[in-house]
Amino acid sequence: MSLLLQSVTDLDGHRVDVRVDGDVVVAVAPALPVRPDDDVRDLAGHLLLPAPAEPHAHLDKALTSHRAPNRTGDLAGAVTAIREIAAGFTHADLVERATRAALEYLANGTTAIRTHADVGAHSGTRHVRALLEVRDALAGLVDVQVVALASSPWTPEEAAGNARLLEEAIDLGVDLVGGAPHMWPDRAAGLQLSFDAAVRHGLPLDLHTDETLDPTAQGLLALAQRVLATGFDAGATASHCVSLGVHPLDVARATAAEVARAGVGVVALPQTNLYLQGRDVDVARPRGLTAVRTLLDAGATLGAGGDNLRDPFNPMGRADACEAASLLVTSGHLSTREAWTAVSAGARACMGLPVPAVAVGSVAEFVAIEAESLDAAVAGAGTARVVVSRGRVVASTRVLREVGGPLAAAVANS
């Protein structure tokens, strides 16, 4: 059965019908005839947008803010809080929370998720095993990529142990190698551990990078230079990159140019970094956001995501790409279209996935949002949604609003 989406409005304001056969768009026209085998969906009043992807999640930590309060509110407090409760995470608990979070993302329109899984002394490879199970169980519904996140060591013994655990996680079948070099006492050693493992196993690399307002942090530049020097071509992503936002403009521009030349994707994560960063600054607090405009001007690939979902690193978050896009507009001063591109096309490019479009031959990954404009959709004004993945409707949300009483009647009649 083919899928016929009627009377949708694309990003350029064109009202069209879209037919999907299999997982590919096969026809786009102002009006298409209904065929006997069509699954017809009348989506008049809906924008048909490229489905977002979540390029940086932590499904193993999701939905734990009530269990592990962050006592200081900063990154160090979050790390401490999660390590204090990690021993109590059973396999069943990890799988249940991760699955629930992934389906929450899907209901809001996100059809692909890259999730990091803690690997280290406090977690072993338990988180990896759980998220690999979730990945396989949701295959065909949500595209889940699992990153082995090598934890930063607190002791030399932990450093050696984490290296062994990273190899074990790779053997278990993770999709990418990760790490957080900026949190290592020796940042160069942290980069080398993850980079060398990715090279040995031919896996892409996704690093937590410069998640700090320290203006001396240059992990993003070091990663780009290492990719260029080695010819690493499996794919490299740098997430956070907060320090780039406080570098002098000439320094930030030079780094962004190297990033673009190296083909390193950068993922901005406004929710978590606005929450965690700058808490020690009382006046003119920095925004805790990477230099999104500078990266775009340099031609670098910019993705964006939500990062943490109601855990010690961010007690907020609604698993909705509209939230990340909205924050890129208000805190990053991107246009609404640039922001949506970051959470959809940019995120998918960072993840090595094809980018959907309302065009013949495109992959059929869409979210239809009932809204009069892209501004309204991203702002959350239209929360009625239909999610299309692999050529079929996989989720839908309907909204029922009732407004009544004497005051409402008086306003309506005025």
Is residue 407 over pLDDT 80?
no
CA distances from 2 to 19, 37, 364 (A): 7, 6, 11
List, for residues 79-134, the tens digit of each pLDDT value.
899 988 888 899 999 999 999 999 999 999 999 999 999 999 888 999 999 999 99
Q: What percent of the chain has pLDDT over 90?
A: 86
Q: How many CB atoms lie within 10 A of CB 137?
A: 15
List, for residues 259-294, the tens digit of each pLDDT value.
999 999 999 999 999 999 999 898 988 889 999 999
Q: Give one word for 115, left, alpha or beta, with left for phi > 0 and alpha for psi -120 to 50.
A: beta
Task: Kindly state the average pLDDT of the residues 150-165.
Answer: 86
Query: What pLDDT band is residue 367 in, cutting at 50, 70 and 90?
Result: very high
Is residue 354 over pLDDT 70?
yes
Query: What pLDDT band is residue 197 in, cutting at 50, 70 and 90?
Result: very high
């959709």: which residue's tokens? Answer: 377
Is residue 414 over pLDDT 80?
no
pLDDT value of residue 94 = 98
List, for residues 34-46, the tens digit of each pLDDT value.
999 999 999 999 9
Is residue 382 over pLDDT 80?
no
Q: How far is CA 315 from the centre of its chain?
A: 17
List, for residues 159-180, the tens digit of each pLDDT value.
888 999 999 999 999 999 999 9
Task: Kindly state the average pLDDT of the residues 242-259.
Answer: 97
Q: Give 358-412 as a 3 state SS string.
A: CCCCCECCEEEEECCCHHHHHHCCCCCEEEEECCEEEEEECCCCCCCCHHHHHHH
Domains and CATH numbers, the chain: 2-50+357-397 (2.30.40.10), 53-351 (3.20.20.140)
pLDDT value of residue 243 = 97
pLDDT greater at residue 379 or residue 381? 379
Q: For residue 55, how many C-alpha atoms fall within 13 Å in the half-sphere facing its CB?
A: 35
Query: Global pTM?
Result: 0.95
Tell me what the pLDDT averaged over the chain comes to: 95
CA distances from 288 to 11, 27, 107, 274 (A): 30, 43, 29, 5
Orientation angle between helical segments 187-201 and 219-230, nearest 10 degrees: 40
In this structure, what are the phi and psi dihedrals at residue 34, rounded to the nearest 5 degrees? Answer: -80, 130
List, for residues 226-239, the tens digit of each pLDDT value.
999 999 999 999 99
* CB contact set of 105 (below 8 Å; sequence gap of 6+): 54, 57, 113, 142, 319, 320
Residue 33 DSSP one-character state: P
Three-state DSSP at 41 gives strand
CA distances from 106 to 271, 287, 386, 387, 388 (A): 19, 29, 10, 8, 10
Is residue 409 over pLDDT 90?
no
Is residue 405 over pLDDT 70?
no
Task: Kindly state the average pLDDT of the residues 53-63.
Answer: 98
pLDDT value of residue 412 = 61
In this structure, what are the phi and psi dihedrals at residue 81, rounded to the nearest 5 degrees? Answer: -65, -45
